[in-house]
């Protein structure tokens, strides 16, 4: 070679734990290039020496056909003087202080590994921890970066000669696969799978250690087993998730669209919310009052082997007591789950980071995450602007936090409702680990304005950081903007159950004109009294009574309603007195509370035992072929539903079907969204609308609202990468705080809190 060329190439993105170095090694060899590749804490570093044309071919192939799991953010190449490299090699990883390299989420078993452990002639036949560079554990076993075996929980499993040969063979797909192992040298189970299947057939509950924590497993066709699991787990009605062996089994139980098949079978393998077939012979205790089921496919070899051709579905719910974090350790499980499980299936590979199953729903042909955890976290949300190093502490329900650096927003996995000590410990543990893993030292902390949230209290303890309060619904809209790459002003529609307002009241039916720099509240649902605080959330009849009093006043005494027969007169009198005298009563504009009130008024549910239960069941009852709406009024900035409540009372008295009332109610809320947005567009000349907040998990509502807005000429933006519920709040807090730190935009003089 007369005139060799040399390039140094830095690659950033998800490029560790995805077979990137083996890919580079083989590509360089195929093109006759010398040099090296290594992992660093900043990504992957490559040096190439050889013919200029071959180096250009290498770069073209790298950009156009990277490894299937890699997600390249940028490739930077610089020309260097030739160094006289004689061959191409993989070098030891290096630590570049202060630099970060995103870590891959855990990835479902690939087709090649599935073939290996199902093939009797293969040495990994029946081995439940089979993996390769294209699949297997990543985030849950990673202690530190760079992603090398000594820095994972596989460090205590020295590879046998056969596994080491694969690991060092550039032509093998297990070349530099850090979790590589087999039955001779790798993790092992404590119980035979045949025994586990026998126990499940006998109606037993088995706690099974998985990828990011334990699952509690039983037979979903055995009503006694499902009811026993509910009783022991202290979980009254909240649906249990199912795992099925394949797509055919899913289609036996649910209606599955093409987009839902893709979501089920993708590498993330979330729980996907599907429409249940009415004739599916499952226990009625599986998802009471629900027309949908949460279904997932196996994502580890252990899951595939568990079915063993003997089950068409298994209950697969988080291994925890209700409202506590998922259990990860063997000793912890034996202690905390002993009152639930009849037997335990342990393994001896440590789970470094607990990660629950993700939940997704398909809408408008797109997979939209509702709970962002396994398979998604800790993959960052890419931002189209630079961010300071910030910690955003999130909200209280469905808690997550967010850490930002460079152009990345790293959302934690789903933490849970931050209402007890165990969950707070999980939160702190995960925060410490992610800060170390991604080398982020925040200069500021963003938090929700609610003074009683544990996340807020945690932020206010961080006196060494700049503290930035962010209004809850502004954060919702900013979150939707950030993931959709929007920075200009939008009309933000934020509907949920609760959020502390700047006036000290509880917001949740809000119309904002907003950007990252600030917001103006331009319309909201009329305030009503919330008697008893959280008790009213658990007893929707209190909300119904509040709306009735607001609508009818003293005329309420003349109303003949089934509600007054269902609820004892003494309770009615007590709560009425609280509302009228404003005793232990706060004002709320929350859309979620309106759903609760109407669900109770219509006779569906007067008490709930999990968040949004009444709203979920009310959506399930809504008839698809009803286009009717109820009347409403908009006066100034107030959306007044009293005309609707008056008409609903007449419909209830006339014994109109709940399904018809539910449909007309949903149609009315969608009509309100469109009408207010039309008025704001006329005033502000803004045609972009962001829909965010937990209420927009309601597919009936979001489908109708988005369709009507689109027909009216609006550009509508929804969530997909992060949840619309409070699980996405931390992203919005982070970008708002970043804007404040950088004094961005014309809205600096507006209130961000």
615: Cβ contacts below 8 Å, ≥ 6 apart: 592, 595, 596, 599, 695, 698
Do 146 and 210 have their domain in common?
no
Domain boundary among 186, 206, 221: 186
**What is the pLDDT, as a whole number, of residue 746?**
43
The answer to whether residue 355 scores a pLDDT higher than 70 is: yes
| 290 secondary structure, DSSP code | -
Q: Does the residue 725 lie in any domain?
A: no
Mean pLDDT for the chain? 94
**What is the pLDDT, as a whole number, of residue 747?**
42
Do 273 and 136 have their domain in common?
no
- List, as own/partner pairs, every contact residues 395-398 make where C-beta atoms lie below 8 angstroms and the sequence separation is at least 24, other chains included: 395/448, 395/450, 395/453, 395/455, 395/472, 395/726, 395/729, 395/730, 396/448, 396/450, 396/453, 396/454, 396/455, 396/726, 397/611, 397/725, 397/726, 398/371, 398/723, 398/725, 398/726, 398/727
Q: Does the residue 605 lie in any domain?
A: yes
CATH code at position 151: 3.90.870.30
Distance CA 33, CA 26 (A): 10
Q: Does the residue 221 lie in any domain?
A: yes
**What is the pLDDT, as a whole number, of residue 39?**
85
**What is the pLDDT, as a whole number, of residue 753?**
37
Worst-scoring range by mean pLDDT, 415-419, 510-514, 588-592?
415-419
Start-to-end Cα distance in the chain: 65
Domain boundary among 166, 186, 206: 186
Distance CA 492, CA 476 (A): 9
Do 136 and 205 have their domain in common?
no
**What is the pLDDT, as a whole number, of residue 370?**
97
The answer to whether residue 749 scores a pLDDT higher than 70 is: no
Q: For residue range 123-138, list pLDDT tens digits in order.
A: 999 999 999 989 999 9
Do 249 and 150 have their domain in common?
no
**What is the pLDDT, as a whole number, of residue 284?**
92
**What is the pLDDT, as a whole number, of residue 99?**
66
Do 170 and 43 have their domain in common?
no
Do 54 and 113 have their domain in common?
no
Q: For residue range 600-653, list pLDDT tens digits in order.
A: 999 999 999 999 999 999 999 999 999 999 999 999 999 999 999 999 999 999
Please tell me the pTM assigned to this model: 0.92
Q: What's the average model confidence in pLDDT over 512-537?
A: 96
Distance CA 611, CA 399 (A): 14
Distance CA 99, CA 382 (A): 17
Q: Does the residue 434 lie in any domain?
A: no
Tell me the three state secondary structure of residue 522: strand
- Bridge partners, 34 (sequence order): 49
Q: For residue range 396-414, list pLDDT tens digits in order.
A: 999 999 999 989 999 999 9
15 band by pLDDT with thresholds 50, 70 and 90: confident
CATH code at position 338: 3.90.870.40
Do 200 and 62 have their domain in common?
no
Distance CA 611, CA 653 (A): 28
Do 603 and 564 have their domain in common?
yes
CA distances from 138 to 103, 418, 555 (A): 7, 26, 63
- Bridge partners, 494 (sequence order): 510, 692
**What is the pLDDT, as a whole number, of residue 98?**
64
The answer to whether residue 549 scores a pLDDT higher than 80 is: yes
Do 209 and 343 have their domain in common?
yes
378 preceded by a cis bond (ω within 30 of 0): yes
Q: Does the residue 469 lie in any domain?
A: no
Q: For residue range 658-696, list pLDDT tens digits in order.
A: 999 999 999 999 999 999 999 999 999 999 999 999 999
**What is the pLDDT, as a whole number, of residue 624?**
92
Q: Does the residue 456 lie in any domain?
A: no
The answer to whether residue 745 scores a pLDDT higher than 80 is: no
Distance CA 468, CA 447 (A): 6
Distance CA 166, CA 734 (A): 43
Distance CA 265, CA 253 (A): 16
Do 556 and 639 have their domain in common?
yes
Q: For residue range 91-115, list pLDDT tens digits in order.
A: 888 877 766 667 889 999 999 999 9
Q: What's the average model confidence in pLDDT over 587-608?
A: 97
Do 82 and 212 have their domain in common?
no
Could you tell me the residue range of the domain that residue 351 belongs to?
A: 193-363
CATH code at position 58: 3.30.70.100
CATH code at position 704: 3.30.420.40
Pick the more confident residue, 42 or 255. Answer: 255
Q: For residue range 53-101, list pLDDT tens digits in order.
A: 999 999 999 999 998 888 888 899 999 999 889 899 988 888 777 666 6
Domain boundary among 318, 337, 363: 363
Angle at alpha carbon of residue 709, lines to 706 and 713, rounded to 5°: 135
Q: Does the residue 342 lie in any domain?
A: yes
Q: How many domains does the chain have?
A: 4
Q: For 270, phi and psi rounded to 5 degrees?
A: -75, 170
**What is the pLDDT, as a whole number, of residue 59?**
93
148 band by pLDDT with thresholds 50, 70 and 90: confident
Q: For residue range 24-35, list pLDDT tens digits in order.
A: 999 999 999 999
Q: Does the residue 500 lie in any domain?
A: no
Distance CA 193, CA 208 (A): 11
Do 119 and 35 have their domain in common?
no
């Amino acid at each position: 070679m007369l005139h060799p060329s040399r390039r140094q190439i830095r690659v950033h993105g998800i490029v560790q734990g995805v077979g990137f170095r083996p890919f580079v090694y083989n590509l360089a060899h195929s093109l006759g290039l010398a040099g090296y590749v290594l992992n660093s804490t900043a990504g992957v570093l490559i040096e190439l020496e050889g013919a200029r044309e071959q180096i250009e071919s290498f770069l073209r192939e790298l950009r156009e056909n990277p490894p299937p799991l890699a997600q390249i953010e940028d490739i930077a190449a610089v020309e260097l003087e030739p160094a006289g490299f004689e061959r191409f090699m993989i070098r030891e990883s290096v630590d570049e202080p202060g630099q970060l390299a995103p870590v891959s989420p855990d990835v479902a078993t690939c087709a090649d590994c599935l073939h290996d452990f199902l093939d009797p002639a293969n040495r990994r036949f029946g081995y439940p921890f089979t993996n390769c560079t294209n699949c297997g554990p990543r985030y849950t076993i990673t202690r530190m970066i760079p992603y090398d075996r000594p820095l994972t929980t596989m460090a205590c499993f020295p590879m046998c000669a056969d596994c080491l040969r694969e690991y060092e063979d550039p032509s093998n797909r297990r070349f530099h696969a850090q979790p590589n192992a087999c039955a001779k040298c790798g993790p092992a189970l404590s119980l035979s799978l045949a025994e586990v299947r026998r126990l499940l057939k006998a109606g037993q509950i088995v706690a099974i250690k998985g990828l990011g924590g334990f699952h509690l497993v039983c037979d979903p066709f055995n009503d006694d087993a499902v009811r026993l699991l509910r009783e022991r787990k202290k979980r009254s009605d909240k649906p249990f998730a199912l795992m099925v062996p394949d797509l055919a089994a899913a289609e036996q139980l649910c209606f599955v669209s093409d987009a839902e098949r893709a979501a089920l079978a993708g590498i993330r393998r979330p729980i996907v919310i599907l429409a249940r077939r009415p004739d599916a012979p499952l226990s009625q205790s599986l998802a009471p009052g629900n027309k949908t089921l949460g279904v997932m496919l196996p994502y580890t070899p252990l899951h595939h082997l568990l079915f063993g051709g003997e089950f068409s579905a298994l209950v697969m719910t988080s291994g925890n007591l209700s409202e506590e974090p998922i259990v990860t350790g063997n000793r912890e499980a034996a202690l905390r789950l002993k009152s639930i499980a009849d037997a335990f299936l342990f393994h001896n590979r440590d789970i470094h980071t607990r990660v629950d199953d993700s939940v997704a729903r398909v809408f408008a042909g797109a997979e939209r995450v509702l709970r962002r955890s396994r398979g998604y976290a800790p993959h960052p949300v890419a931002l189209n602007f630079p961010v300071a190093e910030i910690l955003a502490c999130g909200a209280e329900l469905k808690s997550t936090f967010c850490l930002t650096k460079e152009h990345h927003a790293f959302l934690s996995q789903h933490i849970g409702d931050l209402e007890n000590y165990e969950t707070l410990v999980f939160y702190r543990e995960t925060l410490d680990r992610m800060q170390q893993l991604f080398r982020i030292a925040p200069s500021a902390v963003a938090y929700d304005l609610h003074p009683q949230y544990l996340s807020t209290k945690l932020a206010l303890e961080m006196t060494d950081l700049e503290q930035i309060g962010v209004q809850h619904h502004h954060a919702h809209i900013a979150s939707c903007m950030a993931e959709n790459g929007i920075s200009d002003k939008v009309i933000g529609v934020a509907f949920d159950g609760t959020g502390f307002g700047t006036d000290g009241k509880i917001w949740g039916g809000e119309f904002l004109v907003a950007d990252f720099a600030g917001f103006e509240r331009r319309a909201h649902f009329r305030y009503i009294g919330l008697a008893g605080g959280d008790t009213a959330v658990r007893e929707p009849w209190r909300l119904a009574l509040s709306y009735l009093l607001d609508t009818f006043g003293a005329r309420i005494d003349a109303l003949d309603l089934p509600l007054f027969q269902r609820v004892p007169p003494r309770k009615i009198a007590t709560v009425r007195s609280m509302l009228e005298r404003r005793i232990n009563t706060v004002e709320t504009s929350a859309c979620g509370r309106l759903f609760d009130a109407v669900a109770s008024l219509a006779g569906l549910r007067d008490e709930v035992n999990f968040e949004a239960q009444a709203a979920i069941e009310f959506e399930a009852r809504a008839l698809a072929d009803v286009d009717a709406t109820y009347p409403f009024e908009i006066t100034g900035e107030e959306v007044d539903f009293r005309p609707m409540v008056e008409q609903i009372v007449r419909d209830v008295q006339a014994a109109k079907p709940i399904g018809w009332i539910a449909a007309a109610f949903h149609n009315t809320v969608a009509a309100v969204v469109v009408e207010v947005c039309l008025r704001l567009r006329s005033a502000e000349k803004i045609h972009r609308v962001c829909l965010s907040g937990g209420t927009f998990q309601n597919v009936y509502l979001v489908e109708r609202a988005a369709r009507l807005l689109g027909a009216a000429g609006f550009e509508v933006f929804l969530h997909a990468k992060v949840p619309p519920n409070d699980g996405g709040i931390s992203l919005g807090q982070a970008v708002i705080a970043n804007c404040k730190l950088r004094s961005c935009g014309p809205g600096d003089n507006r209130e961000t809190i």
